[in-house]
Amino acid sequence: MHTLLFLLASISILSMQLCAQQGNPSGDPKSWAEDAAHNELKVIQFDRFYLRYRAHIANARGVQLRDVLETRDGTVARLIARDDRPLTAEEDAAERSRLQAMLDSPAAFAKHVKGDVTGKKLAVDMVKMMPDAMIYTYVPGQPQTGRPGPHAPEVVLDFAPNPRWSPPNLYAEALTGFKGRIWIDSESRILVRLDGTIFQGVNFGFGMIGHIYPGGRLMLEQTNAGQQHWIFSHFVEHLTVRALMVKTLHENSEITSSEFQMVPAMSYQEAIHTLLETPLPTHIAASGH
């Protein structure tokens, strides 16, 4: 359920990017959304080059720092620190064993990336829905995010569900309870920040399959990692979900990605060998970098 919610909430929101003139947005927001949905498909399916970066993950299981490599076959990652400290010998051995199992069994790796493949297909479907699923309005004053470095002005919009839109499937129901604000780079037409809330409860399968409680929050930021390869740089999730009318889950997590660098195309086996050959950090800053 957690993976599904992440895909529905975060990926579908990416599709709400709206095209605009620098600092002076104009035109019907829906027409901007239709154009931006086409552009977002390119972002989701980007495969011109690959990245290596670090992901700092904080959730109920503690704090993890991972060394991440994108490959032709899917993404692989190695745990390199835990709870803002270097790994113990036992923790490192367990991680090496996990990665070795993927080398020994391509089927194990295929299972590992199956969620990514399914998620990408779902994201494409959701992007195509978005121009009709939401109502978009320009924000007076166009407040900027204040992101560092030179960049184009940001176009800022509030979004809310379109009451005349009927979700075509179970997954799309998640869009009916979400509203918030988005910031878009006016030159690249890419979302740079979103801050949204679950303003009303959402049922899946009349509540029999699941329910998202109101009051949750999702915040995400994207960054240009180089040559228009946009990627999540920050994601915050606070959700309360009931699964199958039995168990209530509290999802509280924060993911920060940094230190992006382009890498050659490689197989997942080559990527795992690269990760395992990289010395572990001996000092971990409290921030996770």
Interval 163-193: pLDDT, tens? 999 999 888 888 899 998 988 888 888 888 8
59-64: list long-range contacts, CB under 8 Å, 24+ apart: 59/252, 59/253, 59/254, 60/250, 60/252, 60/253, 63/288
Q: Which of 134, 194, 121, 128 is nearest to 162 (CA)?
A: 134
Q: What secondary structure letter does DSSP report for 213?
A: P
pLDDT of residue 207: 62
Q: Name the helix (H) or strand (E) containing 102.
A: helix 89-104
Residue 11 in domain: yes
Tell me the range of 3-7, 166-170, 227-231 where mean pLDDT is highest: 166-170
Strands, E assignment, 105-229: 134-138, 154-161, 178-185, 190-198, 202-204, 210-212, 217-224
Q: Picking from 52-61, 123-132, 209-218, which range would have the lowest pLDDT averaged per residue?
A: 123-132
In sequence order, the 6+-apart residues with CB closer than 8 A to the CB of 137 are 29, 157, 158, 159
Tell me, what's the pLDDT at 235? 93
Q: Is the pLDDT of residue 50 over 90?
A: yes
The percent of residues in the chain predicted with pLDDT above 70, rounded, is: 88
Closest CA to 6 of 190, 189, 287, 14: 14
Strand-strand pairing, 230-243 and 134-138: unpaired
Segment 113-149, tens digit of pLDDT: 887 777 777 777 877 888 888 999 988 788 888 887 7
> What's residue 3's pLDDT?
46
- Look at residue 288 and tell me if it is in a domain: no
Inside any domain, residue 289: no
| pLDDT score at 41 | 77
Domain that holds residue 106: 2-277
User: Tokens for 271?
Assistant: 């990527």
Least confident residue range of 23-32, 117-126, 279-288:
23-32
Residue 287 domain-assigned (yes or no): no
pLDDT in tens, 74-101: 999 999 999 999 999 999 999 999 999 9
State the pLDDT at residue 286: 66
36 within domain boundaries: yes
Residue 86 belongs to some domain of the structure: yes
- 236-272 pLDDT, tens digit each: 999 998 887 678 888 999 999 999 999 999 999 999 9
- CB-CB contact of 263 with 50 (8 Å): yes
Q: Is the pLDDT of residue 14 over 60?
A: no
Confidence (pLDDT) at 5: 45
Residue 34 lies in a domain: yes
The number of domains in the chain is 1
Task: List 64's β-bridge partners, or say none.
Answer: 57, 82
Please tell me the distance from the alpha carbon of residue 260 to that of residue 56, in angstroms, as a whole number: 13
286 lies in some domain: no
The per-residue pLDDT of the chain, averaged, comes to 83
Other beta carbons within 10 Å of 11: 21
Handedness of CA 171, 176, 181, 187 (dihedral sign): positive
Q: Count Cα neighbours of 132 within 13 Å in the Cβ-side half-sphere.
A: 10
